[in-house]
Amino acid sequence: MAKNNPYIKIDNVSKWYPVKSGFKSNKKEKQWVKAVDGVSLELGKGEILGVIGESGCGKSTLGRILVRLEEPTDGDVFIDNVSAAELIKEDAKSFRRLVQIIFQNPYDSFTPRDTIEQILTRPLNIHSIGKSVEERRKICLEALEFGGLHPAEDIMKRYPHELSGGQLQRISILRAMSVDPKFIIADEPVSMLDVSVRSDIINMLLQLSREKDAAIIFISHDIALTRYISDQVAVMYLGRVVEYGDSDEIINNPKHPYTQALISNCASIDPEEVMEKISIEGEPPTPINPGPGCYFAPRCPRRTEECFSKYPTTQDVGEGHLVVCDRIK
């Protein structure tokens, strides 16, 4: 959704990986896996943008690009009108404080030999937060208490393997928030947790984002959860955004045939809502040098011959609801 002065602007970001030719390959044209292909999104301070789509559509790759764990092939990210590339060039340490990521698997997020106290105090030490060891320890204790991890003194002494997945993910969020970031990427932060603890983690993330006034990109395949937490939603298919707009508008009034099928096959948060399921034919095409037409055309029930030869234009169907399709009903 276009804004007059967005805090975060993702401008035409792409990530293409070269395909190595096989021993007997006769192909002279260089081939690329287009994991992310020309993605542009915007969000303001304190807003949450949900990114949804099938596995392999490029959601996590986009997240890694935004925190510069991977360099984009093209495009850039602007934070408060300043290029991320320039921020890293001038002061990489400050960029790492400004932008944080919460990973999917909490068990892989920590060094197993470190205590929780060492895990939480390390970013404070790196970014010189707190004037003394005692003050930094107090910050960590207060964070654990806020996160519902009691008794905090006991938790500080433990190692990651002594805690549950839900407890570790809370600590992941608290660690990310401890340096006061302004842009957070949450990559499937609750997908590996029991349903019983998911709501607590999500509500904790929501509360911290409001208090810190941080912009969040929430990556998930759980549409009902994304609807609950997000202000806006972007739907990705094969590396590209195919629909984008207000969260309730996208979920209640999807226009792109892919979005319609995706939403029709997810569980509704309203027990009385009955939705007719829309099946999607076949498997997603290969992301290696996809053709000039619509990437969804081979599976689309509305496809025409033109869909295979020309990539569709982006249409604004009202209130910033953007749809990349020439066959909107």
Considering the domain boundaries, does residue 116 fall inside one? no
Q: Which domain holds residue 252?
A: 8-16+35-110+180-324
Q: How far is CA 227 from CA 84, 141, 212, 232, 234, in A?
A: 28, 33, 21, 8, 11
Return mean pLDDT, the chain: 90
User: Could you give the residue ranges of the DSSP H alpha helices within 127-246?
Assistant: 133-146, 152-157, 165-177, 195-212, 223-229
Considering the domain boundaries, does residue 162 fall inside one? no
Residue 1 identity (one-letter amino acid): M
- Portion of the chain with pLDDT greater than 70, in percent: 93
Residue 35 identity (one-letter amino acid): A
**pLDDT per residue over 199-256, tens digit each?**
888 888 888 888 889 999 999 988 989 998 999 999 999 999 999 999 999 999 999 9
Give the mean pLDDT of 72-89: 96
Considering the domain boundaries, does residue 122 fall inside one? no
pLDDT of 43 over the 70 cut: yes
Q: Please name every residue paired with 48 in a beta bridge, in sequence order, or none if there are none.
A: 216
Question: Rounded to a whole number, what is the largest CA-CA distance in the chain?
Answer: 69
- Give dist(CA 199, CA 49) in Å, integer: 18
Considering the domain boundaries, does residue 173 fall inside one? no
pLDDT of 18 over the 90 cut: yes
**pLDDT per residue over 306-326, tens digit each?**
999 999 999 999 989 999 999
Please give the tally of structural domains in the chain. Answer: 1
- Give dist(CA 13, CA 174) in Å, integer: 29
pLDDT of res. 259 = 95
**pLDDT per residue over 147-202, tens digit each?**
899 999 999 999 999 999 999 999 999 999 999 999 999 999 988 888 878 888 88
* Residue 25: pLDDT band with limits 50, 70, 90: low
pLDDT of res. 3 = 61
SS3 83: strand
The enclosing domain of 280 has a CATH number of: 3.40.50.300
State the Cα torsion 47-235-184-148 to the nearest 10°: 80
Considering the domain boundaries, does residue 167 fall inside one? no
Considering the domain boundaries, does residue 287 fall inside one? yes
Considering the domain boundaries, does residue 300 fall inside one? yes
User: Could you give the residue ranges of the DSSP H alpha helices within 75-115?
Assistant: 84-98
Considering the domain boundaries, does residue 260 fall inside one? yes
How many degrees, rounded to 5, is the angle at CA 251 between CA 314 and CA 50?
75
